[in-house]
Structure 1
Amino acid sequence: MTELKAVSLAEVSEGIRKSVKPVSILWQAPDTIAFVARGRRHRSEFHSDPSDEVMYMIKGEMNLHYLTPEGAEKVALVREGEIIYCPAGVRHSPRFSPDSFLLVLERSPRFSPDSFLLVLERKRRSEERDRFFWYCEKCHAQLYEAVRHVADYREDPVSRVYEEFYSEESRRTCGRCGHVTPRPSG
């Protein structure tokens, strides 16, 4: 039998604060994944998850940008100690400060580097794909889409698609209005 162990979210958050990695995997089992994510200074993409996602704001605040079925962008404010449910397929962009921490729970989000978030999800099935979208800051036309099978969160899939998007100016240039999305500073 597997030994059951409790996890201190405060200790995990402090460990991430001292690390260069923005995510700490709490567990990655056959059907579930749980990780704590630290906010990033810049986050611009929208993520479409093939499973439901539950996010708990450990420290700080998060503006969870999301797109309605009609394409309108809305924002849900998630404060420290609050939890939010995001259904599968909803394009969302968690934005919170780097000093915030978020716990995300998924059936396998924009915020600052001082924020921490717990995420719980269902682990991805072999046929499932995550989708990452970038939109023009000026006219809101879709700029780029990356589709990936996320088998292991320890590989930091969000950072990999960010590197891909920002590595080529053609991916950041709007075909409708010509605006070039700048690379994040720092």
Structure 2
Amino acid sequence: MYYERSLSKAPVIELEEAVKELAETGKRVKVLWQEPDALTFVARGREYRSEFHINPSDEIMYMIKGQMNLHIRKEDGSEEIVVVPEGGLNFTPHGMPHSPRFPPDAFLLVSERVRREGEADRFQWYCPSCDALLHEETFVVSDYRADPVSKAYSNFFDSEEARTCGKCGNTMPRPEGV
């Protein structure tokens, strides 16, 4: 069920149907609609999520099912965890490095705007041993249905060089299921 723009329609989405579809298919993202100023999708948790996403758009996140630990990196570089319970709503401003972590049987509704010309999403991984920046992936996201998060993960975890810390030499292991 993907919304096609029409002035004669006002879409009504059954979230339970979107959740059921993701659970049954194993897919990670279901785009509900994607318009010039509005992008809304349901995401299923990734048990291996570890990167920080830097989005050029503000995000509103609603925890449909389960609980999310939203890791954020503050301006001073320190990390904080914001717990978003089932039914909880969160606002994450553009430019804030954040990492929504929740299990594959949990589901999140995300609403943001489509990227403008020249904007790019960034995905950053930090060394689990010394907290140095390990790697950054940058994507121009013109269509969220292409699942840029999965592509960023593949690029990172398929490269031992990207996963090896230049500061302390630690190599982040490649998790199962990526």
2:115 aligned partner: 124
2:69 aligned partner: 63
1:99 aligned partner: none
2:8 aligned partner: 2
**Residues 8-157 of structure 1: pairs in structure 2 closer than 5 A:** 8-96=14-102, 112-157=103-148
The SS at the match of 1:16 is helix
Deviation of the 1:146 alpha carbon: 0.8
Take 2:63 and 2:169, find their aligned partners in 1: how far apart are those partners? 37
Render the CA deviation track for 1:25-57: whole Å, top value 9, x for unaligned: 000011110000000111010000001000000
Render the CA deviation track for 1:58-116: whole Å, top value 9, x for unaligned: 000000000000000000000000100000000000000xxxxxxxxxxxxxxx00000
**Residues 154-173 of structure 1: pairs in structure 2 closer than 5 A:** 154-173=145-164
Structure 1 length as normaliser, TM-score?
A: 0.90
Calculate the aligned-residue CA RMSD, in Å: 0.7
The SS at the match of 2:172 is coil
Higher share of residues assigned strand: 1
1:105 aligned partner: none
Take 2:118 and 2:176, find their aligned partners in 1: how far apart are those partners? 36
Runs of 4+ aligned structure 1 residues displaced above 4 Å come to none
In structure 1, stretches of 5+ residues that fail to align are: 97-111
In structure 2, stretches of 5+ residues that fail to align are: 1-6
The SS at the match of 1:6 is coil
Aligned length in residues = 171
The SS at the match of 1:7 is coil
Amino acid across the alignment from 1:136: C
2:4 aligned partner: none
